[in-house]
């Protein structure tokens, strides 16, 4: 049985975790086996479905094993947790988390987390749904993982009537269109308007893009108090009806993929708010504006200065060190480097994952990477474990 993969995207603070938790809970009450997967470094997605418990994150668990040199010993029970919403109503949760604060890229942590879950056999777990709760106002590649790698079958975007959440939604729609053009299969279902106060801004954006509004979740003080206390809103009749209806339509596949939407250009987006960008450029600042003295002579640039990124990865294994040096020689900055018995060598460069596999034939593999890099294109995944049959997107 292959789980149906849904991704819930939304700007930070718009209520995507609230929406995800009540949706997954409703699906569980309907008899489905559901895993809620928190994909935000704040790692607070699953608190509500776990009675306020903050789950240990996959990232921190993996780092603990890594420090002991035992990362290949991680088991399902280290990162996947179970709760009963009611007797006989189980639900599962996992928080991917991210790097320690200030010590790495959150998107890279998401990419790495999915790789660990795949090693743990996620595609073979006996689940009906995996519902991913994804940060939507960060555009780096790691947070686009469900789109870039077609991990999500469908995407729903949570918005409000505010410009910031709709701007994030437009970015997500643009990313979805881009990855579809690259051969991706993930489909957008539409928008959920959260904290609907009766205004029409989200409606105007939906009409301009062609994205349907799937449901509206009203602004409600009682439900806000429940959410702040890490409690589900399903005990409130109106909200039980909203999420029961949404879960049922998803289960019965009554929400068709939206195929004719069009993300907005910036001037079109501003027009939704009856705004427009002024013509021309802003007034340039002068030296007199910024310096106490009216005369300033800039120092000459060091024309022969070559900037090299500081190494973020320090390895002692001779094979890994050789890989790192070869990557740097062709201009690929290494931000992550792993080696294990099953997958071989995996290099991360920003939001790009490069699967090299075994250390054999490294020269040809790196030559292929060099040629790919010269195209100037951006890639999410490059798989050259078998150099005669590479794949990349």
Q: Could you give the CA distance from residue 161 to residue 216 in angstroms, rounded to a whole number?
A: 11
Residue 99's pLDDT band (boundaries 50, 70, 90)? low
Query: Quick check: 184 pLDDT over 90?
Result: no
| Inter-residue contact 35 to 6 (CB < 8 Å) | no
Q: How many domains does the chain have?
A: 2
Residue 300's pLDDT band (boundaries 50, 70, 90)? low
Who contacts 285 (Cβ-Cβ below 8 Å, separation ≥6)? none
Residue 348's pLDDT band (boundaries 50, 70, 90)? confident
- Catalytic site residue from 42, 44, 78, 128: 42
Residue 130's pLDDT band (boundaries 50, 70, 90)? very high
3-state secondary structure of 135: strand
Domain-embedded: residue 21: yes
The residue out of 257, 272, 287 marking a domain boundary is 272
Say whether both 134 and 254 belong to one domain: yes
State which residues form the domain around 374: 318-392
68: CATH:
3.40.50.300
CA 244 to chain centre: 26
Domain-embedded: residue 311: no
Q: Could you give the CA distance from residue 95 to residue 86 in angstroms, rounded to a whole number?
A: 22
Say whether both 167 and 258 belong to one domain: yes
Domain-embedded: residue 360: yes
Exposed / middle / buried, residue 33 (Cβ in 10 Å: 0-12, 13-18, 19+): middle
pLDDT number for residue 11? 92
pLDDT number for residue 255? 98
Q: Is 137 a catalytic residue?
A: yes
CA 210 to chain centre: 23
Say whether both 52 and 164 belong to one domain: yes
Say whether both 252 and 323 belong to one domain: no
Say whether both 105 and 22 belong to one domain: yes
Q: Could you give the CA distance from residue 57 to residue 80 in angstroms, rounded to a whole number?
A: 9
| Inter-residue contact 158 to 10 (CB < 8 Å) | yes
The enclosing H or E element of 214 equals strand 213-218
Q: Is 16 a catalytic residue?
A: yes
**Average pLDDT rounded to a whole number, residues 282-310:** 71
- Catalytic site residue from 40, 137, 196, 338: 137
Q: Is 42 a catalytic residue?
A: yes
Say whether both 76 and 165 belong to one domain: yes
Domain-embedded: residue 185: yes
Say whether both 196 and 344 belong to one domain: no
Say whether both 148 and 264 belong to one domain: yes
Torsion sign, CA atoms 248, 149, 13, 46: positive
The residue out of 236, 254, 272 marking a domain boundary is 272
CA 61 to chain centre: 20
Who contacts 71 (Cβ-Cβ below 8 Å, separation ≥6)? 62, 65, 340
Task: Output Rg (C-alpha) for the chain, integer angstroms.
Answer: 23
Which segment of 123-127, 220-224, 285-289 scores lowest on mean pLDDT? 285-289
Q: Could you give the CA distance from residue 173 to residue 264 in angstroms, rounded to a whole number?
A: 9
Q: Which residue has the tokens 């939604």?
A: 169
Say whether both 159 and 235 belong to one domain: yes
Say whether both 234 and 323 belong to one domain: no
Query: Quick check: 15 pLDDT over 70?
Result: yes
Domain-embedded: residue 324: yes
Query: Quick check: 223 pLDDT over 90?
Result: yes
Say whether both 103 and 214 belong to one domain: yes
Domain-embedded: residue 306: no
Exposed / middle / buried, residue 62 (Cβ in 10 Å: 0-12, 13-18, 19+): buried
Q: Could you give the CA distance from residue 20 to residue 4 in angstroms, rounded to a whole number?
A: 15
Choose between 157 and 304: higher pLDDT. Answer: 157
- Catalytic site residue from 11, 133, 338, 365: 11
322: CATH:
3.40.50.11690
Domain-embedded: residue 288: no
Domain-embedded: residue 309: no
pLDDT number for residue 219? 95
Residue 88 tokens, joined:
């006989």
Choose between 363 and 56: higher pLDDT. Answer: 56
Say whether both 253 and 347 belong to one domain: no
Tens digits of residue pLDDT in 51-61: 999 999 998 99
């Amino acid at each position: 049985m292959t789980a149906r993969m849904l991704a819930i995207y939304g700007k930070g603070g718009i209520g995507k975790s609230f929406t995800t938790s009540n949706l997954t809970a409703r699906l569980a009450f309907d008899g489905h086996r559901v895993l809620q997967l928190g994909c935000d470094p704040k790692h607070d997605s699953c608190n509500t479905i776990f009675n306020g418990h903050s789950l240990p994150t996959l990232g921190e668990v993996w780092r603990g094993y890594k420090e002991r040199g035992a990362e290949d010993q991680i088991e399902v029970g280290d990162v996947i947790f179970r709760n009963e919403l009611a007797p006989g109503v189980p639900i599962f949760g996992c928080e991917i988390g991210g790097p320690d604060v200030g010590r790495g890229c959150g998107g890279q942590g998401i990419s790495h987390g999915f790789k660990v879950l795949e090693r743990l056999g996620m595609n073979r777990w006996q689940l009906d749904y995996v519902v991913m709760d994804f940060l939507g106002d960060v555009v780096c590649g790691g947070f686009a993982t469900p789109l870039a790698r077609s991990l999500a079958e469908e995407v729903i975007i949570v918005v409000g009537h505010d410009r910031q959440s709709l701007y994030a939604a437009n970015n997500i729609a643009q990313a979805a269109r881009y990855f579809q053009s690259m051969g991706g299969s993930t489909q957008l279902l539409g928008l959920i308007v959260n904290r609907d106060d009766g205004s029409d801004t989200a409606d105007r954006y939906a009409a301009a893009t062609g994205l349907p509004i799937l449901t509206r979740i009203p602004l409600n003080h009682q439900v806000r108090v429940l959410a702040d206390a890490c409690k589900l809103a399903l005990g409130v009749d109106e909200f039980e009806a909203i999420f029961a209806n949404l879960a049922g339509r998803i289960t019965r596949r009554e929400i068709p993929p939206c195929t004719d939407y069009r993300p907005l250009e910036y001037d079109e987006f501003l027009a939704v708010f009856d705004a427009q960008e002024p013509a021309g450029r802003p007034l340039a600042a002068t030296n007199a504006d910024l310096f106490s003295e009216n005369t300033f002579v800039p120092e000459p640039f060091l024309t022969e200065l070559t900037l090299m990124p500081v190494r973020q990865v320090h390895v002692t294994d001779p094979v890994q060190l050789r890989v790192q040096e070869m990557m740097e020689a062709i201009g690929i900055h290494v931000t992550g480097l792993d080696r294990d018995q099953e997958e071989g060598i995996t290099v991360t460069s920003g939001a790009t994952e490069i699967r090299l596999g075994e250390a054999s034939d490294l020269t040809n593999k790196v030559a292929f990477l060099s040629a790919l890099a010269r195209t100037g294109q951006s890639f999410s995944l490059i798989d050259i474990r078998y150099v005669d049959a590479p794949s990349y997107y």
